[in-house]
Amino acid sequence: MLWVKSLHIVFIASWFAGLFYLPRIFVNLAMVPEGSNAERERLLLMSRKLLRFTTVLAVPALIFGLWLFLGYGIGKGAGWMHAKLAVVALAIGYHHACNRLLTKFSANRNTRSHRWYRWFNEVPVLLLLAATVLVVVKPF
């Protein structure tokens, strides 16, 4: 079980590293001046590669988490686990939102400012904080 838990932690940390950095690239994309096509294309390429890599990291993170929950019964029936699963659902939704935003940037249809992306960039920090407190403290 400790191997599965260790791998879960490593893949969660890796997945969230991508979720921390991808919106940071969006901030830079939103600030690209009109006509700076080379800069825009470079940032789009970086975003696409990072999203792809982050998605690859999310899959084993979720698989190992399910293994711990279903295979070892960690947190079954506990209130903190229900809350953590809600946080996981929000993280998956955030990941999906990043994909949608990248699609808009690729189609040159971004309507949001760099300030909005700076705030959007804080969401995964709050999600990781919530999940960590729920798992370690088990408040309910």
Encoded amino acid at 2, one letter:
L
The amino acid at 13: A
d(CA 73, CA 60): 18
pLDDT of residue 111: 96
Residue 55's domain comprises 2-137
Tell me how far apart the alpha carbons of residues 30 and 114 are, in angstroms, rounded to a whole number.
5
Query: 7, 64 in Cβ contact below 8 A?
Result: yes
Identity of the residue numbered 20? F
Judged by DSSP in three states, 111 sits in coil
CA distance 77 to 16: 26
Q: Model's pTM, two decimal places?
A: 0.95
* Total number of domains constituting the chain: 1
Percent of the chain with pLDDT over 70: 100
pLDDT 10s digits, 50-95: 999 999 999 999 999 999 999 999 999 999 999 999 999 999 999 9
